[in-house]
Amino acid sequence: MATNSRIEWTEMTWNPVTGCTKVSQGCKNCYAERMAGRLKAMGSERYRNGFQVMMHGDLVSLPRTWKRGRMVFVNSMSDLFHEDVPDGFLKSVFQTMLDCPQHIFQILTKRSERLRALAMELPWPENIWMGVSVEDGRVLRRIEDLQATPARVRFLSCEPLIGPLDKLVLRGIDWVIVGGESGPRARPMNPLWAGSVLRQCKSAGVAFFMKQMGGKQSKGGDLNVIPPRLRVRQYPVGRAWNQIAA
C-alpha cells in the first residue's frame, strides 16, 4: 500500500504496518485512527481490524519496484517502532530502505525509547531520515533519544503543536516541522509557539518547515492562512529540495 500524499513535506506514503495505540497527548485526535475507521467501513481488507496493529509482509519490498527516486513517509498510518511490531519485521523494513538508495525515507516515531534501544542494530545510510514527534514540553525526552542514535539525518515533527517549546536542544537536529492540529476536535495552536520554534531554528542553523496552522476548518498547508513571518518551508541543506516559501 503506497499512495501519493498531500502531506506537504513528502511525496508519498508507504505503510508496511498499519494501526497504532495512543501514548501521549499528541495522539488524542489521531488522524490515522479516523482514516482507518473510514477505510474499514469501506471494506478495505488491510483495515478489516480497524486500527489494530497489522503487519503487511507483501508490502515490505514495494519500494524496490519504484525506479524514479521519491521522498517517502514510512508508516503514515502507524508507528514503525510500536511494541507490537517484531524486531525482525522492523529490520526487514530497514533492509528495504538500505537497498533503495534512490529514495529518501522519512520515519517518525513517538516511541523513542525503542528507537534508542534498537538503533545500533539498524543501518543508517543518508537516505533514511529519522524523526520523533514533539508536541509539547512533556515529551522532550524523545529529542534526547533521537540525538543518541547514529541516524545521519534527524528531524522533529512538532505537530500537533499543543504547547510552547521555548527551550529546544537542537544539537544534532537537521530539520524541524511545525503544524497545528486539524480535524473536528482540533486543539488551537498559538502562533507565538510556532514563532519561538522558528527563532530557535534560525539561531541553531536548523531547517524549518511550517506545515499548517490547523483548526477545525483547516485547509491543510494553505500558505495564505499562515502568517507571513511563519511562511518558511525549508528542507535540510544538501539533502533534498531546499526552499523558502513567500
- SS3 assignment for the chain: CEEECCCCCCCEEECCEEECCCCCHHHCCCHHHHHHHHHHHCCCHHHCCCCCCEECHHHCCHHHHCCCCCEEEECCCECCCCCCCCHHHHHHHHHHHHCCCCCEEEEEECCHHHHHHHHHHCCCCCCEEEEEECCCHHHCHHHHHHHCCCCCEEEEEECCCCCCCCCCCCCCCCEEEEECCECCCCCCCCHHHHHHHHHHHHHHCCEEEEEECCECCCCCCCHHHCCHHHCCECCCCCCCCCCCCC
Task: Give the pLDDT of residue 244.
Answer: 38
| pLDDT of res. 56 | 97
Walking along the chain (246 residues) 10 residues at a time, the average pLDDT comes out as 82 97 96 94 95 97 96 97 98 98 98 98 98 98 98 98 98 98 93 98 98 75 86 79 39
Give the model's pLDDT for residue 243: 41
At the topology level, CATH places domain 2-15+60-230 in: pyruvate-formate lyase- activating enzyme (3.80.30)
pLDDT for position 166: 97
Res 221: pLDDT: 59
User: So what's the pLDDT on residue 234?
Assistant: 96
Backbone torsion region of residue 215, taken as left when φ is above 0, otherwise alpha when ψ lies between -120 and 50, otherwise beta: left
What is the pairing mode between strands 153-158 and 128-133? parallel
Q: For residue 19, what are the β-bridge partners?
A: 78
For residue 224, the model assigns a pLDDT of 83
d(CA 166, CA 233): 20
Left (φ > 0), alpha (ψ -120 to 50) or beta: where does 60 sit?
Answer: alpha
Asked if residue 197 lies in contact with residue 178, where contact means CB atoms within 8 angstroms, the answer is yes
Task: Give the per-residue pLDDT at 107.
Answer: 98
